[in-house]
């Protein structure tokens, strides 16, 4: 396995994805929490960072067990760190070094640059530049603006690059990671969905024995795949709870509950809509809404868990991006954008131990794992849906009536996408109810009703996303259907913002 040390770059997760795409298992740990068993990792990658090595709050990793002892790849901040504190020099750059660049020099006899040629496009994102290489540094590549774009340290398996091989815009980035990990560090490429299922089922059996486990199903891909893994491992000892928070899509609660029962899962459906809506009454701040939902969910869940005698564990479908995004919320180096409610530990009163079988996987990997267990393709292909549900798609305060309107609008949109064979081409789609009334005319009457926004994005991991170019005919039909069928809506708009700078959800 490979260790990625995170210095807070927004791209750190992408490094992990690229490594996994090579069928190599890897883990991200904060730079200041290097695992004790660091010997077990075959190679180490240092990520980029929003910090500067020249600043007072530069991040200092303890590389004493790593540097010179195992293959090390330093990216961006990592590359600057190794230069600045080992005999080289980092200085502010004169020109802005962001975006596309091309390698103008490549030391092509190096294994590190095998199959990568002069001219290869790389992605830069830094404001400091490496002026002088560190002691024993050997220049490996340059671009027109960045002289020291890549170097190695003579006598060590230490490599450093100023650009980001992990972003898709670095066209040979994956090749570079393969050169480093497979050819130089000799890491095995043996990580597959099947091997993951086998190992995880075994681990779960050892860890859980005959203990009872409770799991909250959400209807989404993650919790469903987690449930199947646990079901494989411990069978009837898995107790699933599916809570209707009243903020799900139209008919979702009954439809999904049936589907779960068909999969052989031992699942109890709990309708707590009123409890959630009561807790949300009058709240319009997005973070307060999320917190209220998180709190009520825990209360409802706790009540239900107490109904199961002798339960010892709480299983969660937490996936890797949840873990990483929450690291920032708990003091890690990256900035908190939104507080995702599904991580953050348990209140003391629940006294359950946590098991999270998907904690190391990305969404697409979760889908592949599900497929390798023969799970239903429509379930695995479902768009991501946020835990707080329609509450964060109703801007402002929530009422039962607003939920009803949005459910109807969403159903027209999503069913339309399915009918037009567009659903699988879109990563995530939904409707947003805006806190805006506008004037319309229906028949001879003036109307003054709600406006909804439609959002459909393509993405691979939810970290970055772009709006989808849906056919005009489809948008036209959908808009007509919504305004004609959903009482209370007289205007439909389409969201054409990318993430960044917008986000996928509006709250």
Structural tokens at position 197: 């299922």
Residue 254 phi/psi, 5-degree rounding, is -70, -45
Nearer to ligand XMP, 338 or 368 (CB): 338
Q: Which of 26, 76, 84, 325 is catalytic?
A: 76
Cα–Cα dist 219/94, whole Å: 52
Q: Is 88 annotated as a binding residue?
A: no
What is the phi/psi pair of residue 96, to 5°? -70, 125
Element (H or E) spanning 194, and its range? helix 193-208
The Cα 370–Cα 221 span in angstroms is 8
Cβ 496 to ligand XMP shortest distance, Å: 15
Specify the DSSP class assigned to residue 350.
Answer: G
Q: Which residues pair with 238 in a beta bridge?
A: 213
Decide whether 282 or 501 has the Cβ nearer to ligand XMP: 501
Burial 175-189 (b: 16+ CB within 10 A, else e): bbbbbbbbebbebee
Strand partners, 45: 4, 73
- Would you say 348 is a known binding-site residue? no
Give the shortest CB-455-to-ligand XMP separation in angstroms. Answer: 10
Q: Nearest CA to 282 among 433, 397, 403, 396? A: 397
> Annotated binding residue at 52?
no
Catalytic residue among 84, 164, 231, 341: 164
Distance from the first to the final alpha carbon of the chain:
37
Q: Is 483 helix (H, G, I), strand (E, B) or coil?
A: helix
Nearer to ligand XMP, 278 or 287 (CB): 287
Our CB check for ligand XMP shows the closer of 275 and 455 to be 455
CA max distance for the chain:
83
Q: Which is nearer to ligand XMP, 275 or 382 (CB)?
A: 382
21 close to 174: Cβ distance less than 8 angstroms: yes
User: Nearest distance from residue 92's CB to ligand XMP, in Å?
Assistant: 32
**CB of residue 427 to ligand XMP, shortest distance in Å:** 8
Which one from 166, 178, 325, 507 is the annotated catalytic residue? 166
Question: In three state form, how does the secondary structure of 431-469 look?
Answer: EEEEEEEEEEEECCEEEEEEEEEEEEEECCCCCCEEECC
Q: Which residues of 191-205 are buried (b: 16+ CB within 10 A; e: fewer)?
A: bebeebbeebbeebe
Q: Which residues bind ligand XMP (CB under 6 A)?
A: 290, 338, 340-342, 384, 386-388, 428, 462, 499, 503-505
Task: Establish whether 166 is a catalytic residue.
Answer: yes
Q: How far is the CB of 223 from ligand XMP (least distance, A)?
A: 10
Q: Name the nearest CA neighbour of 175 among 115, 121, 102.
A: 115
CB nearer to ligand XMP: pick between 197 and 279 = 279
User: By C-beta, is 338 or 353 nearer to ligand XMP?
Assistant: 338
Told to judge if 451 belongs to the known catalytic residues of this protein, a careful annotator would answer no
**Alpha carbon of residue 432 to chain centroid:** 21
CA gyration radius, the chain: 25
Distance of closest approach, residue 250 Cβ to ligand XMP, in angstroms? 18
* Half-sphere exposure for 306 (CA within 13 Å, toward CB): 7
State the DSSP H helix or E strand holding residue 288, giving kind and residue range, or none if neither. helix 286-307
The minimum distance between CB 463 and ligand XMP, in angstroms, equals 8
Q: Is 164 a catalytic residue?
A: yes
224 belongs to an annotated ligand binding site: yes
326 is in an annotated binding site: no
- 219 assigned binding-site residue: yes
Q: 220 a known binding residue?
A: yes
Residue ranges of the annotated binding site are 218-224
Residue ranges of the annotated binding site for ATP are 218-224
Active site residues: 76, 164, 166
């Amino acid at each position: 396995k490979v260790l990625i040390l995170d210095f807070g770059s927004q791209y750190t997760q992408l490094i992990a994805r690229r490594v996994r795409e090579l069928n190599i298992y890897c883990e991200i740990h904060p730079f200041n929490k290097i695992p004790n068993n660091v010997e077990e990792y075959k190679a180490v990658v240092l990520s980029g960072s929003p910090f500067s090595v020249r600043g007072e709050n530069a991040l200092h990793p303890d590389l004493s067990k790593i540097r010179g002892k195992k293959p090390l790849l330093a990216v961006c901040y990592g590359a600057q760190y190794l230069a600045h504190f080992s005999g080289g020099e980092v200085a502010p750059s004169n020109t802005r070094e962001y975006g596309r660049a091309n390698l103008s020099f490549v030391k092509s006899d190096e294994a590190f640059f095998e199959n990568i040629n002069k001219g290869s496009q790389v992605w830069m994102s830094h404001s400091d530049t490496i002026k002088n290489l560190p002691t024993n540094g050997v220049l490996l590549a340059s671009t027109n603006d960045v002289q020291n774009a890549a170097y190695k340290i003579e006598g060590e398996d230490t490599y450093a690059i100023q650009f980001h091989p992990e972003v898709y815009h670095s066209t040979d980035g994956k090749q570079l990671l393969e050169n480093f990990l497979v050819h130089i560090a000799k890491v095995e490429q043996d990580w597959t969905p099947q091997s993951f299922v086998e190992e995880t089922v075994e681990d779960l059996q050892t860890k859980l024995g005959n203990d009872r486990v409770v799991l909250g199903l959400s209807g989404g891909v993650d919790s469903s795949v987690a449930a199947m893994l646990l079901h494989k491992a411990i069978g009837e000892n898995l107790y699933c709870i599916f809570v209707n928070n009243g903020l799900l899509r139209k008919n979702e609660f009954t439809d999904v509950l049936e589907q779960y029962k068909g999969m052989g899962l031992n699942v109890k459906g709990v309708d707590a809509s009123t409890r959630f809506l009561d807790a949300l009454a009058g709240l319009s701040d997005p973070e307060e809404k999320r917190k209220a939902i998180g709190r009520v969910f825990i209360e409802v869940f706790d009540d239900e868990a107490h109904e199961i005698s002798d339960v010892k564990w709480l299983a969660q479908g937490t996936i890797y991006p949840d873990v990483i995004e929450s690291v920032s919320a708990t003091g890690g180096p990256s900035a908190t954008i939104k507080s995702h409610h599904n991580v953050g530990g348990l209140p003391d009163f629940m006294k359950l131990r946590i098991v999270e079988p998907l904690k190391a996987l990305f969404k697409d990997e979760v889908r592949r794992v599900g497929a390798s267990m023969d799970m239903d393709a429509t379930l695995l292909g479902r768009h991501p849906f946020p835990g707080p549900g329609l509450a964060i798609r109703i801007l402002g305060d929530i009422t039962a009536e607003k939920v009803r309107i949005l459910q109807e609008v969403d159903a027209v949109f999503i069913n339309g996408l399915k009918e037009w064979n567009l659903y699988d081409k879109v990563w995530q789609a939904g409707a947003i109810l805006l806190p805006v009334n506008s004037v319309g005319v229906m028949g001879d009457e003036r109307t003054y009703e709600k406006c909804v926004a439609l959002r459909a994005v393509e993405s691979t991991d939810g970290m970055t996303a772009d709006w989808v170019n849906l056919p005009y005919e489809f948008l036209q039909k959908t808009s007509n259907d919504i305004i004609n069928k959903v009482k209370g809506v007289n205007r439909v708009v389409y969201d054409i913002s990318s993430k960044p700078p917008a986000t996928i959800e509006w709250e």
